[in-house]
Chain A
Amino acid sequence: MTASHGGRGRRVTPARAAYTVTFSRLSLLLLAVGAIHHHLVKNGRRVRAGLVVEAGDIWETHHYATVIGYGANAVSPYLALDTVRNIYNSKLISKELNLEEAEKNYIKAVGAGLLKIFSKMGISTLQSYHGAQIFEAIGLSRSVVDKFFTGTVSRIEGLDLDGIAKEILVRHRLAFPEKPIPVNTLEVGGVYQWKRRGEEHLFNPETISLLQQAARNGDYEVYKQFAEKVNIQSEKAITLRSLLQFSERTPIPIDEVEPKEEIFRRFATGAMSFGSISHEAHSTLAIAMNRIGAKSNSGEGGEDEIRFQRKENGDWERSAIKQVASGRFGVTSNYLTNANELQIKIAQGAKPGEGGQLPGHKVDEWIGRVRHSTPGVGLISPPPHHDIYSIEDLAQLIFDLKNANREARINVKLVSEIGVGTIAAGVAKGKADVVLISGFDGGTGASPISSIRHAGLPWELGLSETHQTLVLNDLRSRITVQVDGQMRTGRDLAVATLLGAEEWGISTAALVVEGCILMRKCHLNTCPVGIATQRKELREVFNGHPDHVVNYFTFLAQEFREIMAELGYRTVNEMVGQADVLRVREDLDFWKLKTLDLSPVITKIESPPSVGLYKRMDQDHELDRILDWKLIEASKSALEKADPVSAEFEIRNTDRAVGAMLSNEISKKFGSVGLPDNTINIKLRGSAGQSFGAFSTKGIRFELEGEANDYFGKGLSGAQLIICPDREAKFEAKKNIIIGNVAFYGATSGEAYIRGMAGERFCVRNSGVTAVVEGVGDHGCEYMTGGYAVILGPTGRNFAAGMSGGIAYVYDPENNFSINCNKEMVDFDPLENDDLMRIRKLIETHRKFTRSGIAKIILDDFENAVQSFIKVMPKDYKKVLLKHKAKEQVVPESVSNNIV
């Protein structure tokens, strides 16, 4: 490795020393990089040199990411490229290309992988990621970390230099054996798939078949065999919790322990979207969980309304927890109304910082409809929620959702990583009812490979940190703490409870009970057991049954109660947070395990008895004096008999989420159909607070005279929003901002007429609203998937980024729109008759409702003015529409369900 002086120097001549020692995995290489980088930083010389790495043991994206994250400016992966050459020369590449192209493809793939990793953290350039050290270390001692990876967190200690050296020697001895090894094949590895002589996996052929057998036959003895294989990992120590044991306490008879029904209501299955898994797999979980008084989770794909009604035999397919993820797929007022819990997904345990991804071929007609999106078009949830850029924003969203369904608990899902305790404290202060700490294990087989092993952290760390932080700040008693991440047995639940959780989520194991055999082909839509697929012929062989799922959770509760009895706990509440009952095992001899220090995890914070250790009181959501109560009062006869009503009110900027609670009442009564347009006519004058018109349903027409703040029309579900400046305003409407940022985020239907300009991210993730506005800021129509946006003025830059559906019409008489548009996913198409009619009608309506000046100007000279309109047409959307036309199929909205 060399550092070459001189900023411009393109010539890098690495001196490759004559090594006889092979580098082991990444440890030696990464140590060297970190050491040199930090040494130069400490001496103030870092910027004078570039760090070039030439190594044989770099091939996966994560390897590149760590080396760059710890200081390398450039990487020469000689063995990886040699391998490409070898593959090429062995004629294993079926495509026609030459060696140079093959090498370029590999390098391009590395770049794409790195880009994915950067973007997870909100970083757009390599330069920003370089030296940023966005990692946490697990299993490395502080001494090593402080010297070589200064600043990186390492919470449970681990290997020191001697230990690392020992690891390297192991590999060295195999690579340069003293006597010849009569084996001529490389080890199979088994890191990403189970292999017999490879890495240990807790889900292996034995445990999978035991669990399935136990659940299918209702056999508790077989379940116990499964639990034993998972719980007792001994020296293999795959999970942190396997290193812990319970202290001796006075046992009590098991009949004194609270009954299993009390345990059941603390269970949830994790968020797995309809779309990633089949309807059959998804609804089976819901039926089972509903049966036992627990909760299943919709995931982020919306939910088909037919599931909200109970079936004739009493089965209920409705997901008790409805997730609100960054894509806001299918999040309508009715969706939110039909829930016991609303979960805001800040991140996923298994792919933190990333949004979910559903490949296009898995978005069929049904899924497209439920998600209010276009079938065949891939769905990417943007990493951040565009309405959460701060803790205050999160508090706002919690408020919005609480308004949209005040009977539901509001749950915030966080991922286990250093600092999650602080975030959880913020979440508690933001009035969330539940916080979920999600561990790094598990997740779907469709995750990118670098995420599977290298993203997120064990829940043991995040949960203990969260509980301790909440207790320290006396916030613990007002929020429920939930945990998930590859929990499989009652013992896992017990450890989690002692570390601070009072509810638990189980996902993978529940799917295994439904037949999942961990194919890890979820992303290919070929799941042979009908779970992670949308193919009809595969869904037909789905073999899961709610009874099996119920059996499994019954066994979990039983095993958990047995442990409670052993430890002398009558109720779960008594057990929460009693971390001092856990001890590190003394009977583990393996040298690596002895270097760990789990004390930070099993510390019980000292706290006075007044500080609760589990949820004891409700949050004060401050809903008593909101404006919507008045709106609901005024709309009484509309709600009872669908009579048209009208009313006028003053509005102030402390009136937030106006319309959400009223819409909840409408949805409760009238479902997603709502009321006829303008049944409830509300005129408002003044400054509207955040989230004006949030989740507002069909039947409401808000006419706001004044201005509004951010999140205007968030999640709009069919209402009509009209806004124009105050009658006494003297400024020119079309040149001034009248609504804030992130308008219509996740909106699914409705109309809006805005006389004035909008801020940034107008119509981000819009799925079906028709909106007319007179100018927008940057990132207009970002990630839009449906609806129509008519922009009668200038746009900011990066318009239509990620836009995969819907159409935007931009009025561009000055010809400067093109440079502001992100053309990656859209084309500029000529206007057809449909478009002309649509534009005309919308502008006429806009003029009628708002007396817009620019509307009048355009209408007065329509034939000419319309020439200046640009039709922004998403490529994917166009393709799908053409395909439909060719097949003469009915357009998505009217497709019927194909439930087998």
Chain B
Amino acid sequence: MGKPTGFLEFKRELPKTKDSKERIKDYKEIYLDFGEHKILDQAARCMDCGVPFCHSGCPLGNIIPEFNDAVYHKDWDKAYMILSSTNNFPEFTGRICPAPCETSCVLGINNPPVTIELIEKTIIENAFEKGLVQPHIPAKRTGKKVAVVGSGPAGLAAASQMNKAGHWVTVFERDDRIGGLLRYGIPDFKLEKWIIDRRINLMMEAGIVFKTKSEVGKNVNANELMTEYDALILCTGSTVPRDLPIPGRDLKGIHFAMDFLTQQNKRVAGDQFMRKDEILATDKDVIVIGGGDTGSDCVGTSNRHGAKSITQIELLAKPPDERDSNNPWPQWPMILRTSSSHEEGCDRYWSVLTKEFIGERGRLKGLKVVDIKWSVNKKTGKSGFEEIKGTERILPCNLALLSIGFVHPEHDNVIEQLEINVNKQGNVSDIDFQTNIDKVFTAGDMRRGQSLVVWAISEGREAARNADRFLMGEKSLLEARDESLWELA
């Protein structure tokens, strides 16, 4: 590694963010610049472990110690080469990944971990600046045609890899723009959309065809795809939101988080909406129900709308500030996290159950909530809660955003049309990414249930390998997450 004593000399440091009052005036990314020399110091903190837990914790198997070392030596070309061998879209993960690599970093045992995500972002942006990132045009075409359904990170990764393997790829996206949740789920202030466009252009140059406003199973017939294409890879995500069917659910002013966020992203992209369709937080008392990342995005967006008040409530108990003893390193730490959106203004409450939506003349006015107490049933081992008497109260609210997770993919499209099997959870069943129909594969949230972008990319890559093998009748030469090339020969 670069510097054996780097971790003793340098402290973990991240770029500063713009002032929270200033940054809520726009939707741009919130980080200020960080000098190159500072990145070198951060890369020097990597200890090049004999057993790199980061490399194991990363769903993509990014070869992290090696690219940290390359960065320390200012060998940006090499760093890019190493990074791109496992990650198709480091510019996405480098901005929005929760970084399981960092939480399994060995330095993190008793020190703040290495700033791996920041280094990843720096490498790829540097590579773009230098023109190192070129469309990957395969040397030979196989003549096989592949249809990828869904242009989120899983679909894009699968498309990228299949194209690399020499197949002709067409990506079908039901929305009007490419990107799936990258574009229409994640707010601009976390991921500006020109970044997606930049990548899509490269993919188009490499020969991948994108068809927007094409919903397979609705206005595009899935069975036709089956005849036209040699393989299909389904990556439509896990988009059915969990609902809260309590009294008052029909009141106006209650929306799913994704409707709220997607609309805002379109607005930033220049689209305009009819007044009656607008979901705005301006001057409203906003309550975000659900304490996860989506909820946090709602908080940030509500602040930018100029909400009167923002409250986020969560059913589960408040997580500890530090790891629990049964949640040791290198597991993902279940600790209290405060995002940049929270810093911009938000009250948070945990162990709160929403009982009823209170309205007036058909419009939402407030939420009836009660505090709860969690406990573990000693006999069954199961967790349960009970309401704390006397804590029932009404919180003022005229905009409630439901961000309580996604249950499974929509079934009434390609799944129905092709009669794809789904499992108990409602996700697509698979064996090695292959569905019950031989030439149909699946990847991403559609297969796993709701998860992270980095997992989606990993899924897309692995599904591509399996599809490639199916098409060519022999082991795929695409990079694997866990298998060595030796095993392929």
Which listed residue, A171, A188, A515, touches B489 by the CB 8 Å rule? A171
User: Is A170 engaged at the interface, CB distance under 8 Å to the other chain?
Assistant: yes
Evaluate contact between B51 and A213: CB separation under 8 angstroms: no
**Closest beta carbon of chain A to B168's beta carbon, Å:** 15
Q: How far is the CB of B444 from chain A (nearest CB, A)?
A: 21
Chain B CB within 10 A, most for which of A209, A216, A524: A209
| A526 lies within 8 A of B56 (CB) | no
A183 touches B50 (CB 8 A): no
Query: What string of 1s and 0s marks CB contacts (under 8 Å) between B151-169 and chain A?
Result: 0000000000000110000
Binds A, one of B103-111, B337-345, B368-376: B103-111
Contact between B49 and A529, CB atoms less than 8 A apart: no
Interface string of A82-100 (1 = CB under 8 A from B): 0000000010100000000
Taking a contact as CB atoms under 8 Å apart, the answer to whether A183 and B479 are in contact is yes
B432 → chain A closest CB, angstroms: 18
Cβ contact of A528, chosen from B7, B104, B136, B164, cutoff 8 A: B7
* Contact indicator B477/A179 (Cβ below 8 Å): yes
Evaluate contact between B50 and A520: CB separation under 8 angstroms.
yes
A537 contacts the other chain (CB 8 A): yes
CA distance A148 to B330 in the complex (A): 48
Chain A's closest residue to B142 (CB) is A179
Residues of A within 8 A of B48 (CB): 193, 521
Q: Is B325 an interface residue (CB 8 A)?
A: yes
B82 at the interface (CB under 8 A from A): yes
> Which positions 326-384 of chain B face chain A at CB distance < 8 Å?
326, 328-331
Instruction: Tell me whether B52 and A193 are in contact (CB under 8 A).
Output: yes
Q: Which residues of A contact B111 (CB under 8 A)?
A: 528, 541
Chain B residues whose CB sits within 8 angstroms of the CB of A173 once the complex forms: 489
Which chain A residues border B138 with CB–CB below 8 Å? 180, 182
Indicate if B185 sits at the interface (CB-CB under 8 A). no
> How far, in angstroms, from A829 to B477 measured CA to CA in the complex?
68
Q: Contact: B50 with A445, CB < 8 Å?
A: yes
Q: Is A309 in the interface zone, CB < 8 Å from B?
A: no
Asked whether any CB of chain A lies closer than 8 Å to the CB of B66, the reply is: yes
Interface segment among B21-29, B296-304, B446-454, B480-488: the answer is: B480-488
Give every chain B residue within 8 A of A185 (Cβ-Cβ).
Answer: 81-82, 85
Contact of A181 among B325, B477, B486 (CB under 8 A): B477
Bound CA span A204–B56, Å:
9
Q: Which residues of A contact B106 (CB under 8 A)?
A: 517, 519, 528
What does the 1/0 interface line of B12-52 toward A look like (CB < 8 Å)?
A: 00000000000000000000000000000000000111111
A515 to B109, CA, bound (A): 10
Whether B4 contacts A182 by the Cβ 8 Å rule is no
Does B8 sit within 8 A of A, measured CB to CB? yes
Say yes or no for B281: interface residue by CB 8 A criterion.
no
The complex places the Cα of A204 from the Cα of B110 at a distance, in Å, of 20
A217 contacts partner chain B, Cβ-Cβ < 8 Å: yes
Nearest neighbor of A198 in chain B, beta-carbon distance:
B484
Closest residue of chain B to A173 (Cβ to Cβ) is B489
CA distance A182 to B326 in the complex (A): 43
Contact B140 A529 (CB under 8 A): no
Would B50 and A174 count as touching, CB distance under 8 A? no
- Given contacts A182-B138, A182-B478, is CB(A524)–CB(B53) below 8 Å? no
Q: Which residue of B lies closest to A538 (CB)?
A: B8
Residues of A within 8 Å of B5, CB to CB, are 526
* CB 8 Å contact bits of A57-93 with B (1 = contact, 0 = none): 0000000000000000000000000000000001010
Assess the B81–A184 pair: CB atoms within 8 A.
Answer: yes
Residues of A within 8 A of B483 (CB): 197
Chain A interfacial residues counted at CB < 8 A: 50
The CA of A198 and the CA of B104, in the complex, are separated in Å by: 19
B61 within 8 A of A: yes
Shortest beta-carbon distance from A277 to chain B in Å: 16
Chain B residues within 8 Å of A515, by CB:
109
Contact string, A524-540, partner B, CB cutoff 8 A, digits 1/0? 10101100000101100
Cross-chain contact B484 with A205 (CB below 8 angstroms): no
Bound-state Cα–Cα, A180 to B85, Å: 16
> Quick check: B486 and A205 within 8 Å, CB to CB?
no
Query: Are A197 and B61 in touch, CB under 8 angstroms?
Result: yes
Cβ-defined contact, A195 with B55, below 8 A = yes
Bound Cα distance from A717 to B325, whole angstroms? 49
Contact B328 A209 (CB under 8 A): yes
Within 8 A of A (CB), among B112-143: 136, 138-140
CB contact under 8 A between A203 and B47, given known A174-B486, A179-B477, A524-B4: no
CA distance A524 to B480 in the complex (A): 34
User: Do the beta carbons of A204 and B51 come within 8 Å of each other?
Assistant: yes
**Residues in chain B near residue A92, CB distance under 8 A:** 73, 75
Instruction: Check if A697 is an interface residue, CB within 8 A of chain B.
Output: no
Identify B51's interface contact among A208, A216, A524, A526, CB under 8 A. Answer: A208
Closest to B62 in A: A196
Query: Given A180-B139, A197-B61, A198-B484 in contact, is the A519-B47 Cβ separation under 8 Å?
Result: yes
Instruction: Specify which of B81, B85, B140 is in contact with A179 (CB 8 Å cutoff).
Output: B140
Q: Is the CB of B482 within 8 A of A197?
A: yes
Q: Is A337 an interface residue (CB 8 A)?
A: no
B291 at the interface (CB under 8 A from A): no
Taking the complex as formed, is B63 at the interface, i.e. its CB lies under 8 A from any CB of chain A?
yes
Q: How far is the CA of A185 from the CA of B86 in the complex (A)?
A: 10
B contact residues around A204 at 8 Å (CB): 51, 56
CA distance A184 to B488 in the complex (A): 15
A209–B326 CB distance below 8 A? no
Please measure, in the bound complex, the distance between the C-alpha atom of A515 and the C-alpha atom of B51, giving whole angstroms.
Answer: 13
A751 to B199 alpha-carbon distance, docked (Å): 80
* Nearest neighbor of A537 in chain B, beta-carbon distance: B8
Q: How far is the CA of A528 from the CA of B6 in the complex (A)?
A: 11
User: Which residue, of B75, B330, B477, B484, has the highest number of chain A Cβ atoms within 10 A?
Assistant: B484
Most buried by B among A92, A177, A195, A212: A195
A217 close to B326 (CB less than 8 A): yes
The reply to whether B81 and A517 form a contact with Cβ atoms under 8 Å apart is no
Q: Give the chain B neighbours of A197 by CB distance below 8 A.
A: 61, 480-485
Q: Residues of B contacting A193 with CB < 8 Å?
A: 48-52
Task: Given the known inter-chain contacts A179-B140, A188-B63, please indicate yes or no for A205 contacting B51, CB distance below 8 A.
Answer: yes
Query: Contacts A193-B50, A518-B51 given: A187-B484 contact, CB under 8 Å?
Result: yes
Residues of A within 8 A of B165 (CB): 182
Partner of A184, one of B4, B85, B482: B85
B contact residues around A538 at 8 Å (CB): 8
* Cβ–Cβ < 8 Å partners of A535 in chain B: 8
Is A422 an interface residue, CB under 8 A from the partner? no
Q: Which of B8, B57, B479 contacts A526 (CB 8 A)?
A: B8
Q: Cβ of B328 and Cβ of A216 under 8 Å apart?
A: yes
How far, in Å, is A900 (CB) from chain B's closest CB? Answer: 15
Give the complex CA separation of A470 and B480 in angstroms: 50
Q: Could you tell me if B485 and A183 are in contact, using CB atoms closer than 8 angstroms?
A: yes
Smallest Cβ distance from B90 to chain A, in angstroms? Answer: 15
Residues A209 and B330 in contact, CB atoms below 8 Å apart: yes
Contact A194 B489 (CB under 8 A): no
Docked pose: A837 CA to B230 CA in angstroms: 97
In whole angstroms, how far apart are the Cα atoms of A113 and B167 in the complex? 49
A543 located at the interface, meaning its Cβ lies under 8 Å from any Cβ of chain B in the complex: yes
- Give the distance in Å from the alpha carbon of A179 to the alpha carbon of B485 in the complex: 14
Which chain A residues border B52 with CB–CB below 8 Å? 193-195
Q: Could you tell me the distance between the alpha carbons of A535 and B53 in the complex, rounded to whole angstroms?
A: 24
Q: A180-B140, A194-B52 are in contact. Are A526 and B485 (CB under 8 A)?
A: no
Contact with B along A227-262 (1 / 0, CB 8 A): 000000000000000000000000000000000000
8 example contacts (A-B, Cβ-Cβ < 8 A) are as follows A171-B489, A180-B138, A185-B82, A197-B482, A204-B56, A213-B328, A217-B325, A521-B50
Top 3 nearest A-B pairs (CB, nearest first) are A520-B50, A205-B56, A541-B110
Query: Interface residues, chain A, CB within 8 Å of chain B?
Result: 90, 92, 170-171, 173-174, 177, 179-185, 187-188, 192-198, 201, 203-206, 208-209, 212-213, 216-217, 445, 515, 517-521, 524, 526, 528-529, 535, 537-538, 541, 543
Known pairs A173-B489, A209-B331, A535-B8. 11 more at Cβ < 8 A? A174-B488, A180-B139, A182-B138, A183-B478, A187-B484, A188-B63, A193-B48, A195-B52, A204-B56, A518-B51, A519-B51
